[in-house]
Amino acid sequence: MKILVTGGAGYIGSHTIIELLELTDFEVVSIDNYINSSAKTYERINEVVKRKFDFYEVDLKNLVDLKAIFKKHKFDGIIHFAALKSAPESIDKSLEYYFNNIYSLMNLLECQKVFGVPHLIFSSSCTVYGNVNELPVNELTPVGHSESPYGSTKKIGEEIIENVVNNLVNSSAISLRYFNPVGAHISGLIGEDSPSPSKNLFPLITQAAIDKNKVLSVFGSDYNTRDGTCIRDFIHVSDIAVAHVLALKYLHSKKNTLLHEVFNLGSGVGYTILEVIKEFEKATKIKIKYKLTDRREGDVISIYSDNKKAIKKLGWKINYDLNSMLKSAWNWEQFLNKNTEY
């Protein structure tokens, strides 16, 4: 099969390309506009995997350029990562998030329809659940009020896919709802690397470890949780990447009973922010300076997954615990600081 990976130079996209090239004989084509990534990532992928693949600089909002890629390649599947992805940032840039994430998806679905691509894997998010009354959440948990425009774009995206694939011939889709992807590839050469400052916990922790003068802000200490800080479900990015390969194979082998199916991708364990900081200190023997600050708009209080469906139906398994996630993130941070040209 030939697979198109949108946003392939990004964090999860790059890890997924590695797994596609290592675990299958699929051909891979990647497109990215590099708004939150760099073409240098493809060079690092080639250091890890000695298989060539094609990549192009394309913005999904440009339908003419996108169709040109589909005319050049006959795709059997699409894995769609390309999107703006920061929940806190989306509060201030809501229109930009809606326009980019929804319009890009619509153009991609137009190409799927016109060129008859049978399989689509959509990068969704646990943010579609919002604040919930019962934990853990499973795929039957009602989709709630999104706490951020980013979460809304994922919820709307799933609805659009649901409507479209039900009206396409010989097409099916899976939405993978990630919880909190973290860590870096075991090689230490690929990790979370954006030109804009990260608002995600793991990079902020590792940056505070590198810079002894940096103080990490913990947003909210008065939540109804074990220690007053938010609870999150962290899952290693390589475990998430493998799930995309399994999802493609699942659709290709026609094991799906629905034209659009959703799966949670999480560890199934919820950790508070302070517990993660303490676990990092334990794993690395490095003390982190942090301060407790006001709550941040767009954050849900607590969320963690019931991941049994993905384990049972996709044959997915989790290979990394919290300690190994943190160590891999720390190895990546050290690599970045030794290789400033990246």
Whether 155 and 223 share a structural domain: no
Amino acid identity of residue 3, one-letter, is: I
Residue 189 lies inside a defined structural domain of this protein: no
Q: Give the DSSP H or E segment for 241.
A: helix 237-252
Whether 211 and 104 share a structural domain: no
Whether 254 and 279 share a structural domain: no
Cβ atoms of 257 and 247 closer than 8 Å: no
Alpha carbons 286 and 282: distance in angstroms, whole number: 8
Whether 26 and 175 share a structural domain: yes
Task: Tell me the two tokens of residue 98.
Answer: 């809606």
According to the model, what pLDDT value does residue 336 have?
87
Alpha carbons 247 and 6: distance in angstroms, whole number: 16
- Over residues 85-89, the mean pLDDT reads 90
Whether 116 and 243 share a structural domain: yes
List Cα–Cα distances, 176 to 59, 217, 333, in angstroms. Answer: 23, 30, 27
**In the structure, what pLDDT confidence band is assigned to residue 60 with cuts at 50, 70 and 90?**
very high
According to the model, what pLDDT value does residue 195 have?
73
Whether 312 and 222 share a structural domain: no
Specify the pairing of strand 231-232 against strand 271-272: antiparallel
pLDDT at 239 over 80: yes
DSSP bridge partners of 291: 217
The CATH number assigned to the domain holding 300 equals 3.90.25.10
Residue 177 half-sphere exposure, CB side, CA atoms within 13 Å?
31
Residue 260 lies inside a defined structural domain of this protein: yes
Residue 271: active-site member:
no
Identify the DSSP state of 215.
-
Whether 120 and 221 share a structural domain: no
According to the model, what pLDDT value does residue 322 have?
96
Whether 281 and 242 share a structural domain: no
According to the model, what pLDDT value does residue 199 have?
81
Cβ atoms of 20 and 5 closer than 8 Å: yes
Secondary-structure percent of the chain, ordered helix, strand, coil, rounded to 5: 40, 20, 40
- Over residues 264-277, the mean pLDDT reads 97
What phi, psi does 8 have (nearest 5°)?
-70, -15
**In the structure, what pLDDT confidence band is assigned to residue 341 with cuts at 50, 70 and 90?**
very low
**In the structure, what pLDDT confidence band is assigned to residue 41 with cuts at 50, 70 and 90?**
very high
Residue 156 lies inside a defined structural domain of this protein: yes
Residues in the chain: 342
Give 131-137's long-range contacts (Cβ < 8 A, gap of 24+).
131/300, 131/301, 132/300, 132/303, 135/270, 135/302, 135/303, 135/304, 136/233, 136/268, 136/270, 136/304, 136/305, 136/306, 137/264, 137/303, 137/304, 137/305, 137/306
pLDDT at 342 over 70: no
Residue 292 half-sphere exposure, CB side, CA atoms within 13 Å?
10
pLDDT at 194 over 80: no
Whether 114 and 209 share a structural domain: no
Residue 195 lies inside a defined structural domain of this protein: no
Residue 12 lies inside a defined structural domain of this protein: yes
Q: Which domain holds residue 282?
A: 201-230+269-304+326-338
What is the rounded average pLDDT for all residues in the chain?
Answer: 94
Whether 255 and 330 share a structural domain: no
Q: Helices 273-284 & 322-338, crossing angle to 10 degrees?
A: 70
According to the model, what pLDDT value does residue 338 have?
81
| pLDDT tens, residue by residue, 125-168 | 999 999 898 999 999 999 989 889 999 999 999 999 999 998 88
pLDDT at 51 over 60: yes
Whether 289 and 260 share a structural domain: no
pLDDT at 103 over 90: yes
Total domains present in the chain: 2
Alpha carbons 119 and 121: distance in angstroms, whole number: 7
The CATH number assigned to the domain holding 314 equals 3.40.50.720
Identify the DSSP state of 194.
-
Give the whole-number percent of the chain exceeding pLDDT 70: 99
Cβ atoms of 194 and 331 closer than 8 Å: no
Residue 192 lies inside a defined structural domain of this protein: no
Which residue out of 11, 42, 129, 150 is catalytically annotated?
150
Give the whole-number percent of the chain exceeding pLDDT 90: 87
Alpha carbons 32 and 312: distance in angstroms, whole number: 33
pLDDT at 90 over 60: yes
pLDDT at 237 over 80: yes
| pLDDT tens, residue by residue, 18-37 | 999 999 999 999 999 999 99
Whether 273 and 241 share a structural domain: no
Residue 174 lies inside a defined structural domain of this protein: yes
Residue 137 lies inside a defined structural domain of this protein: yes
Cβ atoms of 117 and 145 closer than 8 Å: no
